[in-house]
Amino acid sequence: MLGAAQFYALLAIISIFSSQLLYLGVKLQRKFCLLLWLYVSIVFALAFCFYTLFIAYAPRMLILHCIAILLLAYFMLIVLSYYLQLERAEDSPDMEVLFSATAV
């Protein structure tokens, strides 16, 4: 069984991995990294909620955990909107054609 210290260490490792994914996705505009970050964050949030509610329930920390989950959800919405913006920019029909094949 995973102890509290091991669980939080595992969450820290996952956080480092997901932050690197987010950095690569934004810096290089890679949609795959953004989607993978979203999936990892969802699994991270579900595991964190399950662990804090059912295994290591501490009522005095519940408010802090709720704030952390709400903050994570806020960042997920920001990344999702950026992902949709990249999708829209990629599929934009407003691309300007500078020359045609017959003009060359």
Q: Is the pLDDT of residue 74 over 90?
A: yes
Report yes or no on whether pTM surpasses 0.75: no
* Digit-coded pLDDT (tens) for 19-55: 998 999 899 988 899 999 999 999 988 988 888 888 8
Handedness of CA 39, 44, 47, 53 (dihedral sign): negative
Tokens encoding 25? 């996705």
Report d(CA 78, CA 41) in Å as an integer: 13
